[in-house]
């Protein structure tokens, strides 16, 4: 029968293996994640710029100056 107890070394080995695996996956996809994030940010800025421009043309104020 095997030993049912889990030692500290077993836990450390397993957690370090998981951390290494996740680290590699993140490093592989880091460039893609940055590119997608930059694209989404640019699209949001453009949309807000266009919405602000449109609402600015709707609410223009005409100032009339009269001589007394």
Q: How far apart are CA 41 and CA 39, in angstroms?
A: 5
Question: What's the Cα-to-Cα distance from 8 to each of 12, 22, 56, 68, rounded to whole Å?
Answer: 6, 21, 65, 92
pLDDT at 43: 97
Per the listing, tokens 């836990």 go with 11
Residue 35: the pLDDT is: 93
- CA within 13 Å, CB half, 23: 6
Residues 3-12 have pLDDT tens digits of: 678 888 888 9
What is this structure's pTM? 0.48
Dump pLDDT digits (tens) for 5-41.
Answer: 888 888 899 889 888 888 888 887 888 989 999 999 9
């Amino acid at each position: 029968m095997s030993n049912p107890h889990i030692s500290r070394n077993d836990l450390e080995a397993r957690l370090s293996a998981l951390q290494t695996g996740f680290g590699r996956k993140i490093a592989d996809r880091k460039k893609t994640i940055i590119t997608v994030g930059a694209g989404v940010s640019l699209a949001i800025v453009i949309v807000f710029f266009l919405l602000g421009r449109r609402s600015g043309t709707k609410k223009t104020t005409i100032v009339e100056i009269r001589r007394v």
